Amino acid sequence: MLSSYTIPILAAITRVSPASCSLPMRKPAKPNKDKDRKKAQQTVGITRYVPYIPPSLVSDTVGALKDRESLAAVLDLVCSPVAPAESSEDRALFQRVAEAYRTYQEAQNERYLERELQIRGNVLEAIHNLPEHLYDEAVRSESEHMPETLTFQHAFRVQLVESELSDFEIEKLDAYRLLMYLRFPYLDVKAKQPGLFWLEEKKAISRQKQASLLARKKKVR
């Protein structure tokens, strides 16, 4: 015979639980999309870019520096001679002439800049006054390079360079022109497509790692 203390226990076991009742359950809360978007936005980092020069645009520079004659000409121009033949008076004269030339060059550059701005304004005004079909053609057309025959090197080579300078000075002038080109052979491309000269920092680091691995493999061989 069951004691009186077991009745409440049996009643509790046989009692209908809330889960089995016919009352509707509470609908689960919808996920907050705004919070998810904020988290996604927070996880997105800032893309950093570093200066970059495409190797294909410096192929001339690399090739010239690998050539012994070109490299020797550039080094002779940049580096001081081992046994200079000039006296202290000659060096003082060179210094005075160089300072006078810089002063004259600055004055001429200001005049040329003013003239260039004036010509540019005239060109833009002329394009603006063109008929509609010619205006569209002028705007879409790309800028053309100056013909090689009209450059200073070709137009005044005989008149100013070959008739006024010695062979040694002409050699140094050619080496200087070569050096100026080898430093920045990509100026025209950079002016038109500046985005080519920036690279993501992650890609730059990975390329540095690849270059270091290739260098290590070459050393091992």
- Going residue by residue through the chain, which has 221 residues, state the pLDDT in tens, using 9 for 90 and above: 444 444 444 444 444 444 444 445 555 666 666 665 655 555 556 888 888 888 889 898 999 889 998 888 888 888 877 777 888 898 899 999 999 999 999 999 999 999 999 999 998 888 888 887 777 777 777 777 778 888 877 888 888 888 888 898 888 888 888 888 888 888 888 888 888 899 888 887 776 777 777 777 776 66
Residue 73 has a CB neighbour count (10 Å cut-off) of 19
Which pLDDT score is estimated for 41? 56
Task: Tell me, yes or no, whether 177 lies in a domain.
Answer: yes
In a domain, 76, yes or no: yes
Is residue 65 assigned to a domain?
yes
**Is 221 part of any domain?**
no
Looking at residue 156, its pLDDT comes to: 84
Angle formed by the axes of helices 59-66 and 68-78, nearest 10°? 90
* pLDDT value of position 101: 93
Q: Please tell me the total count of domains within the chain.
A: 1
Give phi and psi for 49, each to the nearest 5: -120, 150
Q: What is the DSSP code string of 14-83?
A: HSPPGGGSSSPPPPPPPP-HHHHHHHHHHH--PPPEEE---GGGGHHHHHHHHSHHHHHHHHHHHSPPSS
Look at residue 122 and tell me if it is in a domain: yes
> Residue 64: which residues within 8 A CB-CB, separation 6 or more?
70, 71, 74, 178, 182
- Where b means 16+ CB within 10 Å and e means fewer, 208-218 reads eeeeeeeeeee
Return the SS3 of 166: coil
pLDDT at 21: 47
Q: Is 74 exposed, middle or buried (0-12, 13-18, 19+ CB in 10 A)?
A: middle
The amino acid occupying position 108 is: Q
Q: Do the domain assignments include residue 158?
A: yes
**Domain span at 131:** 58-188
| Calpha distance 130→123 (Å, rounded) | 11
Residue 16 lies in a domain: no
pLDDT for res 40: 54
Q: Is residue 126 part of a domain?
A: yes
